[in-house]
Amino acid sequence: MKLLTSILIIFVALEHFYFLVLEMFLWTTPKVIKIFGLKDKSFAEETKILAANQGLYNGFLVAGLIYSLVIDATNFSIFFLACVSIAGLYGAYSTKKIRLFYIQSVPALLALCSIILHNSL
């Protein structure tokens, strides 16, 4: 069960590293404009500073999740997975795109469930 939990946490971290790259470095590319459903390239250009800031926050989530695995700190894992879950929930609510909940929150919630199951056995 510990291996499954670690795999799920690594998956969430990799997912957020991917978001970091998209938001910090590729925000104005056609692929990212399509992925995020942005209006057009000029809108992407206008918002690239905000997106980069958002990407940086994703980087902090990645760092926290990886750190929680390195030091084997369940409380850290729970904290950062909860942050990811709440961010996904809010993102889905604020953008009216339920897909964000499935992409961001569900993997984090699965990892949290794995931690809870592992600790209750």
pTM of the model: 0.92
**Average pLDDT value for residue range 91-120:** 94
Residues in the chain: 121
For the chain, the domains span 2-120
**DSSP letter assigned to residue 97:** -
Nearest one of 54, 58, 56, 32 to 43, comparing CA atoms: 32
**Average pLDDT value for residue range 29-38:** 92
3-state helix, strand, coil split of the chain in percent (to 5) is: 85, 0, 15
**DSSP letter assigned to residue 40:** -
pLDDT digits (tens, 9 = 90+) for 58-104: 999 999 999 999 999 999 999 999 999 999 999 999 989 999 999 99
Burial class of residue 21 in the structure, from the number of CB atoms within 10 Å of its CB (0-12 exposed, 13-18 middle, 19+ buried): middle
pLDDT digits (tens, 9 = 90+) for 45-65: 999 999 999 999 999 999 999
